[in-house]
Structure formats: C-alpha cells, structure tokens
Structure 1
Amino acid sequence: DGDPDTWWQALAKEASFEVILPAEKTVNRFMIKEAIARRGERVEAHFLEARVAGSWVRVAEGKTIGHKRILRFEPVSADAFRVTITQSRLAPCIAHVSAHFYDEPPKPVEISRGSDGRVTMGAGVTFAWRGQTRPDQSQDIFYTLDGTDPATDSNRYEGPFSLPLGGHLKARVIAEGKKGAISEIRLGILRDGWIARDSRGRQQEPLGVLDGNPRSGWLMDVSDADTASLTIDMLRDYVIGGFLYLPHPPGAFIERFDVLVSRDGRQWEHIHSGRFGNIKNDPGWRTVLFDRQVSARYIRLTHLRAPGGMTRVGAAEIEILAANGN
C-alpha cells in the first residue's frame, strides 16, 4: 500500500506469502523491505518463486532482508510471485514488496580456447547461484580477428571455430540495436608438441610455460653473473610479431629481457629488448609486439632480469603471436 508504517506479520518464524499481479508481466527484479523501524530486522533466509505458465519456479534466493533487499534474476514472464521465509529470529514483518523490470545492457562476452585450438564464446552469466555457470550462447555475438571493433556486419558467432594461429580477437553482443561491452583478447599460436629448454639445460620444468595452465610454470634462480634464458622450439617456421607473458604464480617475475630468433637453432638474430614495468604489483598478462615481423622456428628470451631485490625469474605461460604471412 506504499505506507511504511503498515506491514504483514507472519504467524511463525517460517512462512510464505503470494503477490498476485493484475496481468502477466516480464520481471527481473523483486524488492522486499522489512518493517525495521517498528519491528526490527528479523529475516535470516528466504527465496522467491514466480508463477510461470501456471507452475511455480524458483528464481532467486537470499539471506537477510533488512531495510531493502533487491533480488536479481533472469527475466521471467509471470502473473504472481511467492516469497518464502525459511529462517527468521522472530516472526517476520514485511512492509513493502514490488516487482520491476530492468532493461540491462548486453553482458560482456566470455572467450575461451581449448587445447585443440577451437574458440568458444558466450555472453557472461550474472546469476551463478542457479547453476548457470556456462556462458549464454543464445544471444547474437559478433567478432573480428584483426583488432577492429565488431559491428553487425562483422563475423557472427555460430559455434566453436578453429583458430590454430591465434589472433587479435574482439567480440561483443549486439541485441535489438543495443551494443554490449567489447571483450578483447590476444591468442597465440597453438602450442601443439612444442619444446622448451632453459639455459641450464632443463626441459621438463620449462614445458610449464606451454601447458595452458596458469598455476604451473618455470622459474630459475639468477645472479648478476647469470645469463638466464628460455628457448622455445615451435617445430616449424612461423611469421611472428610478438609474444604474451604471464608471471609465475608464486611470484617469480621477468622485468628485463632480450628476444633472439632463429630458423635453425644455430644462427641467432636479436630483434627486441624490453622491460615489463610494475610487474610485481600488476602481475597479469603482458603483450610484447616487435617492431617488425620475422620468420622463425626458435624464439629465445635471454638476459633475463628480475625486479630489484628479487633473485628469481619465471613465467607461468608464454604464447607466441603470429603475424600476417603464415
């Protein structure tokens, strides 16, 4: 009734009540307020059901209500709602309920690539409590592979697709003329069977930078006298234009590095020197783009240096970026 000084009070600590709408409505928000000014905060657990095509469907759940609780859920077309209070300190007192529809913008696109090089995309999921842990693939997703912003005349995502050479992928949902946020990712060349070796001759541990698992990786203790390096054998020539670097999870970082490439593993060419600024405080993926494209089978990161005061270098993942011409 819009009056905060009136309320519904249950007869017991566990109770439910129904709200009947005058007609079927599309709803994705439901607001509940307790009569805290007169009766205090009592509810400790509750859930909400919607009557959809004559059947009750649970759409949301929560703990305390207090001054205001807004339950958010995927849109449903319903003609009634039922609030069930499953736990309360005293008989619950509800002063206000209301149903709403929020026309939210399209969700960002989630992008993943499997070990077979196939790329999968879906709109992000907001309401994971209902077990919706998989991205929504029912919305129209458009994408590009050249770094340009996607539009309705770009590639439309129809299902998983192969991208063995990786690419600069941008994707967004476009629904009913509304454009979602752009999701952007650089994907390296598929690292099938690649080999890695460090400057101490180790091969097993360096393979951790090629296994797709960010919780594993390679690390090495270094001193000023060391020339720490990591060499990756891609098994055949590729035209490459850069690489991606993710630090080792326990906290081993590369701050300074040189990049050498080779086609035969004997003659090496220096093509880049670089530094990852603030890598200790921002240990996420870093992208390195070379000044020019080169054809190579081997790539070596050498003269590796850790940030000041640290004695280990390391990496969780390294991906090599293909360039045009493959």
Structure 2
Amino acid sequence: MRKFLLTAGLCCSLASAHAQDIAPYGALPSQAQLDWQDMEYYMFIHLGPNTFTDNEWGHGDEDPKVFNPSQLDARQWARTAKQAGMKAIIITAKHHDGFCLWPSKYSTHTVRESSWKDGKGDVLKELSAACKEYGLKFGVYLSPWDRNHPAYGTPEYNQVFANTLNEVLSSYGPVFEQWFDGANGEGPNGKKPVYDWPLFHNTVYKNQPNAVIFSDVGPGCRWVGNEDGIAGTTNWATLNVTGFTPGKGAPAQSVLNEGNMNGEKWIPSECDVSIRPGWFYSPSTNDKVKSVQQLLDIYYGSVGRNGNMLLNVPVDRRGLIYSADSTRLMEFRKMVDASFRVNLAKGAKVTATETRKNNAKVNAKFLVDGKKDTYWATPDNVLKGTITLTFPKATTFNRLVLQEYIALGQRVKGFSVEVLEKGVFREIATATTVGHKRILSFPDVTTTQVRINIQDALSCPVISEVQVYRAPGLLAVPMIQRNKNGEVSITCASADPELHYTLDGKEPTFKSPKYTGFISLPKGGVVKAKAFLEKGKVASTTVTAAFDVAPAKWKVIYTDGQADGADPDRAIDGNPNSFWMTNYQPDASKYPHEIQVDMQDTLVLKGFTYTPRHQTVRSGTIYTYEFYISQDGENWGQPVAHGNFANIANNPVIQTIKFNTPVKGRFFRLVAIAPANENEHWASVAELGVITK
C-alpha cells in the first residue's frame, strides 16, 4: 500500500511541476489510474464450469470434470482483442463457484481436477503469455465468494482467499487490474463472512503495486452501478468512500453511476457489459450478440462519459471466441475507426477567452494538437471561458470530443456547444462533466464557427483537447415483436428501409420475403430479419427472434393483490414494456407473492421464461422462485422448478428455466419466494412464457 501511495504522490508532484502555476484541485489520479483511463476499451472473459452448465452463478458442487474446452486457444482470444482495438483482457480466474482456472494449491476445485488436458492445464499461464505476445495488458477477476471451499463462512477464510490472491498475483507477470466482485453469500455454516478488504488490498499491492483495484468503491476504479455499460450523463471520477464497503455496503447505484462532486478519492467508473444477454457462454444466445448500434451506444455512454468500457466476450465450450461475437467486434471497430478517423478541428483556427497569462504551457492552439499533456486554462478563480473554432470553409460534423487535463483534477461542471448559422449562434448541445473524455453526438450541422462555452467549474478549467468529427451513418437493425395474438411485426428506426425476413432459419437476403404486414405465428417459430437500402447494396446486421406458444387465450385466474393500475394481464400480454406488480408490503414476512395462469389448452411444457421489469425503475424483480404446473388449477403438487434467478438484480434480462423432465398441464403458477433487492417486499413480472419446443 505504501508503495502505491508514493506512486500517487509522485504523479501529483509531477503534475504540479508540469503545470507550473496551476494548482491541482481536489482528489487526484495516480499514474496507474491515468494510464488506466487512457486504455478506454478492453475485454472481459467469463469462462468456467458455468460455460458448460448454462448457469450464470454456479453452486460450487459441479463435477470439475465438466470443464473441458478441448480446443482452448488463448492466442485466439488475444488476437481477437487486439484486432478489435482492445488494450487488455481480464479473465474470471475464480468465479463464485470457487473453480480456479489455474491449479491452485488452496483449492480442490480447479483445472487440476478437470478433464481439460488431463488436469495439467493452466488457463492463466496461457492467457498471460498470449497477452504478452500481442501487446495486451493482463488482468484477473477473483471473487471472494466461494461456494465450494469448506472454510468459506469462517474467519479463517479471509487468509485462504489472501493466499489465493498471492498465488495468482505472484505467478503470471504484471497485472494491470484486480477485479473484485462484492458478492457475499452464505457458507456451509449458514453464515456470511466479513471480508477483510484491507488484507486483500495489501496482498494485491504487495505483488502488483501498480494494479488498479476494481470494486464498488475502488480504490482504483469503481463499478458504474449497472451492467448495461452506461455511465451517468453527469459522471465525476471522484467518490466518497468513508463508511462504505464493496457489495451491500456500497453507495447507492445512482451514486456509483454519477460519482460525487468533490468526492474524497479519485475512483473513476468502469462500465462492464456483456456482448450477449448473459456473462457466460450459452448456445441459446448465439443469435443474441449485441448489434453494432448497441455497442456504439454503449461506447458513447461509457468512454464518451468519462468511463472505461469493459466488454465481456464469453469463451464458448470449445475454448474459442464464437464467430458471431468476433465478427461483431470487427464490425464495431470498423465503425469506431471510421467515426473518429479525421479530426476536423485540426484545420480550424482556435481562439479562447479568459486565457491564463504568462504561462508558456497554456495556449488555445494546444487544444487541437492531438497531445493529451498540453492544454488551455483560465486564470485562477475564473470559472468560465469560451473556446472558438473557426473553419476556413463551411464544415459538416456530428461529433464533438472534449477532454480535461485530469492530472490536475476534474473541474468542469457544465458547458454548451453553439454553431454559427446565418450570422447568429445557435445552441446544439449542453452537458455537465467532462473528465478524461466527453463525446457529444448530434445530427449533422454545417458551419464555419463552433463555440464551446465552459459555463461553470469547480476551479479554473484546464482543457487538453477539442476534437470535431463527422461519423458515418449506420443502418439500424430491425426490431421484431409479437403481440398476444401471435402476430409478428418488424420495424426499423432508419428512414424507409426495405425489411426482408425468413422463417426457415436461413440468413435473410434482399431476395427473401419482404415484410409488408403482420406475420402470424401463434404456435411460435424463428424469425430472422434484415434491413436494406439502395436495392440491397446496403444492409443491416441480422436480428433473430425465437417465439414459443403465443398467450392469445391465456387468462390470469389468481394473483396476490396487485398495485393500482398494474393489471395482471400485463404479465401475459406479449409486451415486455408493460408489467404486473403486487402491492407494497411493509415487511418481508408478507412474501411470497404469486400469479396463476390458465392456458386454456393442455400442453407439454419443457420450461418457462420470466422477463423482469427492465425500465428506468427496476422494481419488484424476483430472485427466488417456485414454478408449479397443474391439470385442474387446484391440485399443484410439488414445484417442477425452483431456485434463484442468478445475478438478476444487476442484469435483469429474460430468464429461461428448463425442467429436468417435460410436464403436462393446463395451468401454471409462478411463486415469488424472495426479492432480488432485500428492501422490495413486492413482486413484478413484465412477461411470462412457456417452453414447449
């Protein structure tokens, strides 16, 4: 720890010396944090027994022999990351199930006990070597929760975990980031341990003094408060941490999303998100890889809002990055490169008001020199200023990038952007914080002058870069939806595309059936669709939607008292944007809640789906459930499925539960046993479905 603090102090001293008479403001980043922020975009890899069991959170009782990625090729992962423009790879060395991707001497649940390479393999060794070969940094995720280790839940476990950390961090070369998950479950004794975070942090810094430690409260970088990869429109790199701990002791998710203005520590946000709906590989999500547009939205919502983008690309059961994921990564990089290839600001004359005097390090011309360590600044106590770009001829653009010289602290509280039109300046955008990087997107504007008005700051603003770009347009992917009656509609946000689709599983082409109206699929099926422009010369990526039996005749026959306006039929209306919710209960003893449905037909069911409410307010999400099937709606017997929707609080995507054996029935009943968030004593359902195929 001491070595790390000395590094941080040296960074601050160098910043002050470099900036001459500009005094640092507030909490400051260490050199390791500055280097980390410059990385911007890197890969997460989830791999373990869950890859082979279709679980998000394993229980630790899996047979380790299930882990057998027979074609595992860490060089393919590193090569893919490098070609995608990523700067590093972080791997789940140990997830909550306790399975270690290296032959740990502190566990009996490791690759040593697996079928892979007859127990002689070491994933961390292969990946660290591959990262070194391809010029990538190497990071590790180790969960302190261990559902396998017999000591978990006892005071002795903290030292076991520290030993495990020491083993990894001393064996595989430089580690740029240590990722800590705050999840804390009960041990075999029914107790949750109190994690010794100072011990864990000291173990990290003893082995890797320059590592950036991730958790809800850092100390190196923080969780952004969601698993959508999106930072707040206001995002401070500073955070108040006194009295808080990772996990349930963390600040509110809204605080993590935005940080604290004048926060006591420099702990910038890392925005983690998966390229698929889940974190581990599942064959069922091969056609659900995020589109280029979705990845761009995440990029602008993370890197473009003073955060780093950590994109999970789960390795498949062969031990390879799946082709659809790899292809999408390359398409995404191509689009980002095209969007930020030519900085139009370099051809402009730059002037600024309120420029600090008698300082050779401060000049408006430095704003467009492409160097992060040069800057423009106002005098002390001057919190406003205007930067003007004057182009030699009318210039069209739709992106603006602003960067602060964050070695001296984060300062800007608000700014606006104006363009000159017919002799008058018109405001086209406003924003709050800047930090390492702020990217604003807006429709094409054409002008000869742009003004960036710094409207308020915590201290004199110090701006290092202003960049202007014209990003190419992107044809939106279609959206496929089905209503309660089984009628499928296909729409697209782009203007006037032709939409073509298939129902036989084949890739749509311009010669495939053209969408002209509802497609009737009451019994379910697979729809693939694509948008086309210019008579098929320009095409979107393909979107796929799989449907089972439509709820056309279904009726809700019983619920607990629902909240006002939360009609229970909304749980079976085919619309995931509507929801049913039960009344608020003052205490947890009023749980469970339930909903019963008559399908009007007797079906052989192989499973069910639960779509949680996924809106701005994620309220009433179910965690522990029981699912029953009945022939008569009165005799329910034992549940055909029960358990937890793992990680649903942070990643509220559709949950697919398969039964061990098919069950015949006409009625089904979902019982919410416990909520995902302990303080929510109610339940909600956006959509319920059944699996018959």
- TM normalised by structure 2 equals 0.31
Equivalent residue in structure 1 for 2:432, among 63, 67, 72: 63
The 5 Å alignment of 1:104-143 reads 136-138=493-495, 140=497, 142=499
| Count of residue pairs the alignment pairs up | 289
Q: CA deviation at 1:181?
A: 7.1
Q: CA deviation at 1:233?
A: 2.8
Deviation by residue 1:50-106 (Cα, 9 ceiling, x = unmatched): 34687755332222445x544321341413342242523577665643311334755
Verify: 1:275 aligned to 2:641, yes or no: yes
Q: In structure 1, what is the Cα distance between the partners aligned to 2:431 and 2:672?
A: 50
Q: In structure 2, what is the Cα distance between the partners aligned to 1:247 and 1:36?
A: 39
Aligned residues of 1:188 and 1:319 also touching (Cα < 8 A)? no
Which stretches in structure 1 are left out of the alignment for 5+ residues? 124-135, 223-227
| Inter-CA distance 181–102: structure 2 relative to 1 (3 Å threshold) | farther
The 5 Å alignment of 1:8-23 reads 14-23=384-393
Verify: 1:50 aligned to 2:415, yes or no: no
Q: In structure 2, what is the Cα distance between the partners aligned to 1:5 and 1:257?
A: 66
The 5 Å alignment of 1:190-269 reads 190=551, 194-197=555-558, 209-212=568-571, 213-214=578-579, 216-217=581-582, 231-234=596-599, 237=601, 243-246=608-611, 250=620, 255-261=625-631
Aligned residues of 2:569 and 2:580 also touching (Cα < 8 A)? no
State the match for 1:127 in structure 2: none
CA RMSD after TM alignment: 5.6
Equivalent position SS for 1:299: strand
| Inter-CA distance 88–145: structure 2 relative to 1 (3 Å threshold) | same
Aligned residues of 1:18 and 1:81 also touching (Cα < 8 A)? yes
Q: In structure 1, what is the Cα distance between the partners aligned to 2:394 and 2:643?
A: 57
Verify: 1:151 aligned to 2:508, yes or no: yes
State the match for 2:397 in structure 1: 27
Q: Which has the higher helix share?
A: 2
Q: In structure 1, what is the Cα distance between the partners aligned to 2:486 and 2:689?
A: 14
Deviation by residue 1:231-266 (Cα, 9 ceiling, x = unmatched): 4234x548786643246954655644343457xx79
Q: In structure 1, what is the Cα distance between the partners aligned to 2:556 and 2:406?
A: 65
Q: For CA contacts below 8 A with separation 6 or more, give which structure has more relative contact order.
A: 1
The 5 Å alignment of 1:62-101 reads 62-65=431-434, 69-85=437-453, 87-89=455-457, 96-101=465-470
Q: In structure 2, what is the Cα distance between the partners aligned to 1:289 and 1:10?
A: 62
State the match for 2:108 in structure 1: none
Question: Percentage identity across aligned positions?
Answer: 16
Q: CA deviation at 1:196?
A: 1.4
Q: In structure 2, what is the Cα distance between the partners aligned to 1:109 and 1:253?
A: 32
In structure 2, give the amino acid aligned to 1:19.
Answer: L
Equivalent position SS for 2:581: coil
Q: In structure 2, what is the Cα distance between the partners aligned to 1:4 and 1:149?
A: 61
Q: In structure 1, what is the Cα distance between the partners aligned to 2:667 and 2:555?
A: 12
State the match for 1:225 in structure 2: none
Q: In structure 1, what is the Cα distance between the partners aligned to 2:434 and 2:460?
A: 13
Q: In structure 2, what is the Cα distance between the partners aligned to 1:244 and 1:169?
A: 19
Q: In structure 2, what is the Cα distance between the partners aligned to 1:305 and 1:14?
A: 54
| Inter-CA distance 317–45: structure 2 relative to 1 (3 Å threshold) | closer
Q: In structure 2, what is the Cα distance between the partners aligned to 1:94 and 1:313?
A: 48
Deviation by residue 1:182-219 (Cα, 9 ceiling, x = unmatched): 46475863557823136xxx7x6599543244350499
Equivalent position SS for 1:102: coil
| Inter-CA distance 14–30: structure 2 relative to 1 (3 Å threshold) | same
In structure 2, give the amino acid aligned to 1:210.
Answer: D
Deviation by residue 1:17-44 (Cα, 9 ceiling, x = unmatched): 432323444422223345788x987643
Which stretches in structure 2 are left out of the alignment for 5+ residues? 1-344, 347-359, 365-375, 572-577, 614-618
Equivalent position SS for 1:211: helix
| Inter-CA distance 42–169: structure 2 relative to 1 (3 Å threshold) | same
Q: CA deviation at 1:282?
A: 2.6
In structure 1, give the amino acid aligned to 2:363.
Answer: T
